[in-house]
Amino acid sequence: MVITQCADHILRAFASWPEAALCARDTRLLAFCREVTQKPALANELGSAWRSFEDDLFLQPGFLDFLLPLEDEAVRAAQADLARLQIAGVATPDRAEAQAFLRGLAAQTADPGRSLLESSLVSCFRRRGLRPRWPFYARFLLITDAVYQRFVDDVHAAVFARLVHQQFLQRRHWPTSYCGGYFYQGSAALGIRGVKPSEERYEAYQLDRYLTSDSRVLDIGGNAGFLAAKMAQRAAQVDMIELNPFLVRVADEVKSALSLNNLRTIVDDFQFFDSPAGQYDVVVSLSNHATIDTRLSIDFHAYIDKIARLLAPGGLLIFESHNINGPGRGLPGDDGDIEDKIAYMQTRFEVLDRYMVDCWVPALDIDKLFLVLRKA
């Protein structure tokens, strides 16, 4: 059955990942997939629900854009066809027309004998596992999120669909997007895996040691706000600044879904962000002192000086590097000169802690250096 085959593909992909890279959401998803593959009666029972699940996915622009293994021009044509159906049907296409649309998609994209979703999954693989490129990992991880939301824990399924739509709008209308347009951060609370699962990241960085119920926190380049949301469950106030307005819309959805009144989202460039001196007890800078998309235009020394100004006396800087094994030539993502950068930070801060943190997508991400520094 299709559900059994798709579950088997998911199990096969995660089998190559080290156990340390698996998060709590992965564990629950894999338990479901194993149960489906081992219990034919369960697979039969879920067969109809799985077919409806596939149809629902491919009738949403955000998922269609991600899941079709087509060239971009063909994806846009399919998007246009779907848009016409949705306009004619006032957002929900007529069932007969929708089925005809899906049959046409299957004829154009699906491998013989495979469903649309299984074909999309198979396109992510090569002989020994997932293809080591972001478009394929992004597609695979989004499929696993969708399966999780429908069959493991559907509490936030509607929120998930809205977040995927914002990611779709970002890919269409923003110059760059990380990780193939997938979620850079994850949220176990919302059932989204992400490239960096926020709850596991929070634990790995031991942030409970540095945040208190009185902490005023600034998260620079907060991305989709999943980690900011996790910190807001601990701190008094979290301000998240992010230049990308589509990611801020995601963060606003997260804030609403989790009822976090102490999380404030701000669309701004950190270079121009204005706040009173000493406003914050903790500043979080996770690989944001230079961004891969090159949109941050402030140099490192000015960046550190500004953080020092924003922190209260004795305040903490939570810092994550980029690639410390790079050549150190100042290119995006290159922190081969990290010791020089730390030396400058020590003119403003005292280093309290320093260690390496493992990545959560081994084939495409890298381990990072993590630092905790106190304002001198």
Q: Is pTM, for the whole model, over 0.85?
A: yes
What does the pLDDT average to over 276-284? 97
The span from the first CA to the last CA of the chain, in angstroms, equals 63
pLDDT at site 70: 60
Tell me: pLDDT of 267 over 90: yes
Say if strands 349-357 and 368-375 run parallel, antiparallel, or are unpaired: antiparallel
Sign, CA dihedral 122-195-62-233, equals positive
Most distant CA pair in the chain, distance: 68
CATH number 3.40.50.150 is the correct assignment for the domain at 196-375: yes
Residue 23 in contact with residue 186, Cβ under 8 Å? yes
pLDDT in tens, 31-41: 999 999 999 99
Kindly report which listed range (51-60, 156-165, 278-287) carries the lowest average pLDDT score.
51-60
What does the pLDDT average to over 107-111? 78
Cα distance between residue 313 and residue 213, in whole Å: 18
Cα distance between residue 249 and residue 155, in whole Å: 20
Give me the phi and psi of 219, to 5 degrees please. -105, 110
pLDDT at site 87: 67
For 44-104, give the secondary structure using H, E and C. HHHHHHHHHHHHHHHCCHHHHHHHCCCCHHHHHHHHHHHHHHHHHCCCCCCHHHHHHHHHH
What does the pLDDT average to over 315-319? 98
Tell me: pLDDT of 363 over 80: yes
DSSP state of 291: -
What does the pLDDT average to over 165-192? 92
Q: Where in the chain is the domain with CATH 3.40.50.150?
A: 196-375
* CB environment 26-35: b (16+ within 10 A), e (fewer): beebbebbee
Residue 354 in contact with residue 371, Cβ under 8 Å? yes
DSSP state of 151: I
pLDDT at site 317: 98
Place of tokens 């159906």: 85
Give the residue from 153, 119, 202, 122 showing the smallest Cα distance to 29: 153
What does the pLDDT average to over 2-30? 94
In DSSP terms, 299 is beta-bridged to none
Residue 324 in contact with residue 338, Cβ under 8 Å? yes
pLDDT at site 297: 66
Angle between the 2-15 and 40-58 helix axes, to the nearest 10 degrees?
A: 90
pLDDT at site 339: 96
Angle at CA of residue 27, ends 25 and 32, nearest 5°: 95
pLDDT in tens, 63-102: 888 887 666 676 677 777 777 776 665 556 677 777 788 8
